[in-house]
Structure 1
Amino acid sequence: MIAQPPIMMKSGSTIRQKVPIPVLDGYVTGMFYSFYGLPDGKEHFLVELGPKNTAKAPLVRLHSECMTGDVFGSQRCDCGPQLRESLFRINSEGGYLLYLRQEGRGIGLYSKLDAYHLQGQGMDTYEANRQLSFDDDLRDYSAAAAMLKALDVMQIRLLSNNPDKAAQLTANGITVTERVQTGTYQSAHNRGYLQAKVRRAQHTINNLK
């Protein structure tokens, strides 16, 4: 399909294309948006789900790509369950899921697998990143803010346990009226990973054992 001409909005980024796609085995249909002019030039996309609700700000999830968790159901993280929960909750309440192409907190898939190898030797996820000469978290959410602005969405309720997402969106001109926690998806394989996120990055995760 040839992309439609860009739809100009109040942002430097513009809508490139939008197309409805049935997801979750056809349980819901999301409107998928691609964009021109995102700050980092990556192919991030946004999925609009659920009813329009003018009574309160839309529910929004910034979900960083996780090939191992989202596609293969890896138990080393909680990404796959969080993605599925987000799709259902946003479809129920109305809002947007932004799928951001920044694998492994921004270090890329191959380096994430290297970090997994180091974690198998006893390092936590942040120690492994540092051993590979990366910062704890390289993710930049300015593209997420640009995507929301392209849809003229300036106020949101953020579905996240990560305070850095709210802080970066706020710094980029998006008002976060509420931060809504996701569920806790703990297993024997990801307990240390979740504990490290709480200890080192102040994630809000309830009922960790």
Structure 2
Amino acid sequence: MIDTDDVLPDTTGRTGVEHVVNVQLSTEFGVFLAAGYLDHDRGEEQIALVYGDIEGDDVLTRLHSECLTGDAFRSRHCECGEQLSAALRTIVSEGRGVLVYLLGHEGRGIGLLAKLRAMRLQAEGLDTVEANLALGFPDDARDYRAAAGILHDLGVRSVRLLSNNPRKREALQRHGVTVGAQVPLLIPPREENLFYQLTKRERLGHHLPHLGFEPARTADPS
């Protein structure tokens, strides 16, 4: 049973995140402890969903970037919503783990409206990297310092990172979280997001071996 009255270690001064509240959250995947945080450096509110006893080493961990279109509206332009569901199911199946849901990461950190503009450029033929760059943004503007701070505060010493993205692993290690292993989170591609997934593999270095050796571009990138 998750105890919503647990007071987790307070390392606000070291990490820049303040642990504000715990509450039990019942979901279709299981019952989690929702730990709410305030990132004082960026002014963002953040949430971590904790399942089981996560203090210690090799905790299965997902850093999930906010994606309104995929997570809430189930857009098929990306696989984010399916990754979110798969990650929560995997954590519950494991018996313990944490999912840090990172607000402020919309569109790999460029914001919702800019992401929609980038999606329009992709419909016109650019890939996701080219679209971000055409709008004057980096290919990936996300910052994982708050995520590392949350994990430190939760007492997680090392993680098995549920991700295909090597940049997440590098970022956590740079911020003092040991990554013992990277666990793939592979979602079968749809016609609408195959080009997007291929671009992530070929231009952003994501480990997506299940895509095979399809050509990088398709006639309709939307």
Query: Is the pair's TM-score, using the shorter chain for normalization, greater than 0.5?
Result: yes
Partner AA of 2:23 in structure 1: V
User: Equivalents in 2 of 1:30, 1:98: separation in Å?
Assistant: 12
What is the Cα-based RMSD across aligned positions, in Å? 1.8
2:136 to 127, 133, 136: 133
Partner AA of 2:10 in structure 1: M
| Count of residue pairs brought into register by the alignment | 202
1:14 maps to 2:18 = yes
Gap change, CA 1:78 and 1:60, over 3 Å in 2: same
Give yes or no for contact 1:76–1:189 (8 Å, CA) kept in 2.
Answer: yes
The percentage of counterpart residues that share the same residue type is 39
1:124 — aligned with what? 127
> Structure 1 stretch 154-163 or stretch 30-39: which is displaced more?
30-39
Q: Identify unmatched segments of 5+ residues in structure 1.
A: none
Gap change, CA 1:55 and 1:129, over 3 Å in 2: closer
Gap change, CA 1:56 and 1:38, over 3 Å in 2: same
Partner AA of 1:81 in structure 2: E
Deviation at 1:62, TM superposition (A): 0.3
- How do 1:155-166 residues align onto structure 2 when only pairs under 5 Å count? 155-166=158-169
Does the residue aligned with 1:85 lie in a helix, a strand or coil? helix
Deviation at 1:35, TM superposition (A): 1.6
1:153 — aligned with what? 156
2:170 — aligned with what? 167
1:43 maps to 2:45 = yes
Deviation at 1:103, TM superposition (A): 0.4
Deviation at 1:180, TM superposition (A): 0.2
Give yes or no for contact 1:75–1:189 (8 Å, CA) kept in 2.
Answer: yes
Give yes or no for contact 1:8–1:14 (8 Å, CA) kept in 2.
Answer: no
Partner AA of 1:106 in structure 2: G
The runs of at least 4 consecutive aligned structure 1 residues that moved more than 3 Å come to 36-39, 53-56
Gap change, CA 1:184 and 1:134, over 3 Å in 2: same
1:80 — aligned with what? 81
User: Equivalents in 2 of 1:8, 1:58: separation in Å?
Assistant: 17
Gap change, CA 1:117 and 1:19, over 3 Å in 2: same
Give yes or no for contact 1:46–1:98 (8 Å, CA) kept in 2.
Answer: yes
1:115 — aligned with what? 118
Gap change, CA 1:190 and 1:43, over 3 Å in 2: same
